[in-house]
Structure 1
Amino acid sequence: MILRLLPWSPTFLCLLISAIAGQIGIASSANAADRPNIVLMMCDDLGWGDTGFNGNTIIKTPELDALAEEGTVLDHFYSVGPVCSPTRASFLTGRHYFRMGIWTANRGHLPSQEFTLARMLKQEGYATGHFGKWHLGTLSRTVSAKGKGRRPDLHYAPPWERDYDASFVTESAVCTWDPGLGKRAHNNPYYENGVATDENVLGCDSRVLMDRALPFIENAAKKDQPFLSVIWFHAPHEDIQAGPEYLAQYEGHGEAAHYYGCITAVDDQVGRLRKKLDQLGVADNTLLFFCSDNGPEGKTPKDRAKTRRAGSAGEFSGRKRSVLDGGVRVPAFVHWPGQIPAGVRLDAPLSVMDLLPTVAAITGANLLPERQLDGENILPIWKGQQIQRETSIPFRYGDFACLVRGKHKLIIESSGDRSQDRLFDLSNDVTESDNLADQHPELVESMRSELLGFLKSAESSHAGEDYDGGHVPVDAWHPLSRAKNRKAATSNR
């Protein structure tokens, strides 16, 4: 006997509803599984040449090297900012820091109207956490680590009011050992979810912050909730001090042992993170990204020899505070099992501004259609499906403005005076010593026009035109003029 179900029978309708519900459930589960966890790590003042995966033979970074080997190394990756706060603003927003008035370190703050990685992913159901350095505003309305000139009431912009569910942060740099002590701890405590704390803030700073990041990750994983974890290490920014076990690994290296040791301490904590992801069973569905916020500290070889400023910019000219590549090209890699090729090194120019639109593409998150972004979705480049970024990368620091378009880099010092323009072919001039501006006037004019157009757009953003009212810039716009400190900012070192 064959049972026939008529389309209008109760049994048929129940089965149909059940099937539809089942398909919806399957689709929902698939969508949830397609949303990877995102862990975005950044060191502070780590030079391009300070890791094993970029050729350093002294500093031990086996955990970072393994992730780089199993993922894709970004050989031509820009922090965009040659100092910390600007890079951090661009990292979280996909926008150039000049749009927000964050000209340099300890200037400006992250406006509440900015659409950040945390805001974007929180709207998608992600748990959001930030651990380590903040440096995008004060964490108290009454005191600041930078003194009265910082105006804590004016620049109050903590992560717990910027869409993070959990946070463990300091306003600015702390010592890499015993971060709760010393001069840099003055008015600069760790704030845990908005409350200043002195609990477990001694010893290795990288371990201290990872002690907070891992429980956040574990809690989200146990709830089967995708997570965004931004981990910004303080190392190897000054004050640079390595713990005894790390100094022992670099005996005979003098003061540089402290610099080397605190980087290896970061590496150990990255290994600890990876082990936890494996234990939780989420490693294969977690995207790991790593970079630095600018080039290494240290103005001259003599300065670096006498202090702990032992960082390496590799073969590039310039260091921190320079718009030359040594100040803004940083070590970086992305690791995402099964999604990003392993054992690949990309030489396409990319930047921290690309993170937000790329994460949006990966997670299916919606961007603000009216918000001007300076980054772009580089997932096709990560996957090897596209060779180059479609748009140029703008820079601005002090009285210097730059643009990287493919293999060329233009540096200008004035909107009208072209006499100091410099054009470099980065594909065969990594030291930026051969000025080709006179040989390629049409290219210079094209890039100059694009760069000035960007600055005009950034000036409008700074005035609040990207926001829906109520925004008053805290500083006046910085017009581009002839540099007074040209030698300091662009000299080859």
Structure 2
Amino acid sequence: MFRKILFLSIPLVCLLDTTHAATAEKPPNIILMMCDDLGWGDTGFNGNKIIKTPHLDQIAADGAKLNHFYSIGPVCSPTRASFLTGRHYFRMGIWTANYGHLPQEEFTIARMLREKGYATGHFGKWHLGTLSTEISAKGKKRRPEVNFAPPWLRDYDASFVTESAVQTWDPGKGERAVDNPYYENGSIATENLEGCDSRVLMDRAIPFIRDAAAAEKPFVAVIWFHAPHEDVVAGPEYLKMYEGHGAAAHYYGSITAVDDQVGRLRAELDKLGVADDTALFFCSDNGPEGATDPDQSKNNRRSAGVTGGFKGRKRSVHEGGVRVPALALWPGRIQPGTVIDTPCSVLDYLPTVSAVTGGEPLPGRILDGENIIPILEGKVNKHEKSIPFRFGPYACLVKGDFKLIINSPDDNGEDELYDLSKDRKETNNLRKQYPEMVQEMRGEILAFLHSAKNSHNGAEYDEKDYKATDAWKMLRNISVEKPKPSGK
């Protein structure tokens, strides 16, 4: 049988070892799942006492829970770009949600595995360009004439996707469906669009997996749920589960609906006889839209998500905006009940999948992530590369136990430095206690931004006359014209 790797994305799970990929007789299957706006504290395996997630909890028991996993982007489109490429989203001009597109020149997981003979499929949200040359989702910033970048032109054999968010019940209806239909393999879908959106998209993902298994062909399935992004609507059976929780019942119910589909997927893998050959990863694309106490959110389904006590929320580079729930499962390779506290991120997916499958990234292409198989297998507890962030007026870096946030290339007066091993809530700014560390990390941040600007201008692409769709985004006072190694 083919070895199949199932990736479950809540913050993503850290994977495999290059030596195994080289000696494996047959390549594993890969499943990469991600929720939309799911907070670190919104699952049972991370301690939520209200929201029922038994199937995700079982994955944590059967595999690994990643306690310190980053989405990289504090909003959705940036995270998705980094997820598929192993590169920071600033390298490709996806500054924020609903902006820009995935360049054709980028080397993705789908492209890498398609070249290795994998069947490739993408299901659910896309959010990396328009799906039409004429329309874009209502109210969004993309321009169809220049941001057309559908998955069927990005190395996917099968796809069932929307450009942007849809409501989580009856996804073909409502305000968010305007100019934002589901496209199935390039054509607007018209059937099986009623009821639970998580079920609707899984109805397309499972046949893709069945066909690949029947053909004895390795596959990669990227499954990006819309829940629990607004408009959050739960079906009757799920609302009944959460009676007494007011409007928040819709939020809770939509998460349990995702969990049911994850359980359905695992049952199908068992039925097909490929569960032991599959590695599964799960994470979220950013923190929750609201990070309020659930007892104060009963009348606001939009703000019912929780961060587990981390500071900030969606649109913040503090932990609540970028640290997300994440899982990894690979029978026989990842020990059951593993808990990983080492920082990892979605940037690690492509280099890890490369190591697992023998797929080769493009030579000369800068990757910001690393192969985390040794971390997942418990062989090491250190992430070698620093993890960069960039959003709004802020740039920051996680390096070992420490996290630095800056908002100026020259003035370090408002810098924030935290020791996350002792201060997970980011309450004690250590900037003045560790000036040399601040200076070193500042230099690394600014050097990264300078590198990202070069990438954005096409420095690593083969096309000599490449021109980015949009000019380098100079947000507020962050400049990268002359990166400086000091904090002066």
Match of 2:109 in 1: 117
In the aligned structure 2, how far is the partner of 1:149 from the partner of 1:96? 21
In the aligned structure 2, how far is the partner of 1:277 from the partner of 1:371? 35
Helix, strand or coil at the partner of 1:333? strand
Match of 2:148 in 1: 156
Could you tell me which amino acid in structure 2 is paired with residue 431 of structure 1? K
Q: Which of 426, 440, 445 is the aligned partner of 1:446?
A: 440
Contact 2:81–2:94 (8 Å) recurs in 1: yes
Contact 1:48–1:312 (8 Å) recurs in 2: yes
Match of 1:104 in 2: 96
Answer yes or no: is 1:404 the counterpart of 2:398: yes
Match of 2:474 in 1: 479
Helix, strand or coil at the partner of 1:410? strand
Answer yes or no: is 1:337 the counterpart of 2:331: yes
Answer yes or no: is 1:276 the counterpart of 2:268: yes
In the aligned structure 1, how far is the partner of 2:25 from the partner of 2:258? 30
User: 1:326 offset after TM fit, Å?
Assistant: 0.2
Q: Would the alpha carbon gap of residues 149 and 331 (structure 1) be closer, same or farther in structure 2, given more than 3 Å must change? A: closer
Match of 1:379 in 2: 373
* Higher Cα Rg, which structure: 1
Match of 1:423 in 2: 417
Match of 2:256 in 1: 264
Could you tell me which amino acid in structure 2 is paired with residue 259 of structure 1? Y
Q: Which of 56, 64, 67 is the aligned partner of 1:72?
A: 64
In the aligned structure 2, how far is the partner of 1:141 from the partner of 1:475? 18
Contact 1:413–1:480 (8 Å) recurs in 2: no
Helix, strand or coil at the partner of 2:267? helix
User: 1:34 offset after TM fit, Å?
Assistant: 3.3
In the aligned structure 2, how far is the partner of 1:234 from the partner of 1:145? 15
Contact 1:46–1:330 (8 Å) recurs in 2: yes
Answer yes or no: is 1:306 the counterpart of 2:299: yes
5+ residue gaps, structure 1, are: 1-29, 484-493
TM-score (norm 1): 0.90
In the aligned structure 1, how far is the partner of 2:292 from the partner of 2:52? 24
Answer yes or no: is 1:58 the counterpart of 2:50: yes
In the aligned structure 2, how far is the partner of 1:481 from the partner of 1:446? 23
Helix, strand or coil at the partner of 1:176? coil
In the aligned structure 2, how far is the partner of 1:303 from the partner of 1:246? 21
Contact 1:118–1:228 (8 Å) recurs in 2: yes
Helix, strand or coil at the partner of 1:254? coil
Contact 2:81–2:128 (8 Å) recurs in 1: yes
Match of 1:43 in 2: 35
Q: Would the alpha carbon gap of residues 159 and 140 (structure 1) be closer, same or farther in structure 2, given more than 3 Å must change? A: same
Q: Which moved more, 1:90-99 or 1:359-368?
A: 359-368
1:335-380 alpha-carbon deviations (Å, 9 max, x no partner): 0000111101110000000000000001111111210000001111
Match of 1:14 in 2: none
User: 1:428 offset after TM fit, Å?
Assistant: 1.1
Q: Which moved more, 1:160-169 or 1:380-389?
A: 380-389
Could you tell me which amino acid in structure 2 is paired with residue 290 of structure 1? F
Contact 2:292–2:304 (8 Å) recurs in 1: no
Contact 2:245–2:298 (8 Å) recurs in 1: no
Alignment of 1:161-200 (within 5 A): 161-200=153-192
User: 1:33 offset after TM fit, Å?
Assistant: 4.8
Helix, strand or coil at the partner of 2:33? strand
User: 1:300 offset after TM fit, Å?
Assistant: 5.9
State how many pairs are aligned. 454
In the aligned structure 2, how far is the partner of 1:163 from the partner of 1:402? 32
Helix, strand or coil at the partner of 2:328? strand
Q: Which of 428, 442, 456 is the aligned partner of 1:462?
A: 456
Alignment of 1:231-242 (within 5 A): 231-242=223-234
In the aligned structure 1, how far is the partner of 2:369 from the partner of 2:355? 12
Match of 1:293 in 2: 285
Match of 2:320 in 1: 326
User: 1:299 offset after TM fit, Å?
Assistant: 6.7
1:400-435 alpha-carbon deviations (Å, 9 max, x no partner): 000000110000001111111110000111111111
User: 1:479 offset after TM fit, Å?
Assistant: 3.3
Q: Which of 429, 432, 438 is the aligned partner of 1:435?
A: 429
In the aligned structure 2, how far is the partner of 1:109 from the partner of 1:68? 33
Q: Which of 199, 207, 211 is the aligned partner of 1:207?
A: 199
Q: Which moved more, 1:473-482 or 1:47-56?
A: 473-482
TM-score (norm 2): 0.91
In the aligned structure 1, how far is the partner of 2:152 from the partner of 2:93? 21
Match of 1:390 in 2: 384
1:128-166 alpha-carbon deviations (Å, 9 max, x no partner): 000000000000000000448521111000000000000
In the aligned structure 1, how far is the partner of 2:72 from the partner of 2:141? 26
Match of 1:34 in 2: 26
In the aligned structure 2, how far is the partner of 1:112 from the partner of 1:192? 20
In the aligned structure 1, how far is the partner of 2:291 from the partner of 2:61? 32
User: Of Structure 1 and Structure 2, which has the larger fraction of its residues in helix?
Assistant: 1
Could you tell me which amino acid in structure 2 is paired with residue 417 of structure 1? D
User: 1:471 offset after TM fit, Å?
Assistant: 2.6
Contact 1:415–1:481 (8 Å) recurs in 2: no
Q: Would the alpha carbon gap of residues 351 and 279 (structure 1) be closer, same or farther in structure 2, given more than 3 Å must change? A: same
1:200-220 alpha-carbon deviations (Å, 9 max, x no partner): 011000000000000000000
User: 1:183 offset after TM fit, Å?
Assistant: 0.6
Helix, strand or coil at the partner of 2:324? coil
Match of 1:255 in 2: 247
User: 1:450 offset after TM fit, Å?
Assistant: 0.6
Contact 2:420–2:426 (8 Å) recurs in 1: yes
Could you tell me which amino acid in structure 2 is paired with residue 235 of structure 1? A
Match of 2:15 in 1: none
Match of 1:7 in 2: none
Contact 1:106–1:146 (8 Å) recurs in 2: no
Seq. identity, %: 67
Q: Would the alpha carbon gap of residues 148 and 412 (structure 1) be closer, same or farther in structure 2, given more than 3 Å must change? A: closer
5+ residue gaps, structure 2, are: 1-21, 479-488
Could you tell me which amino acid in structure 2 is paired with residue 348 of structure 1? T
In the aligned structure 1, how far is the partner of 2:386 from the partner of 2:297? 33
The structure, 1 or 2, with the larger RCO (C-alpha pairs under 8 Å, 6+ apart) is 2
In the aligned structure 2, how far is the partner of 1:256 from the partner of 1:480? 35
1:68-100 alpha-carbon deviations (Å, 9 max, x no partner): 110011100000000000000000000000000
- When the two chains are superposed, the root-mean-square deviation of aligned CA atoms in Å is 1.5
In the aligned structure 2, how far is the partner of 1:70 from the partner of 1:50? 20
Q: Which of 213, 216, 225 is the aligned partner of 1:224?
A: 216
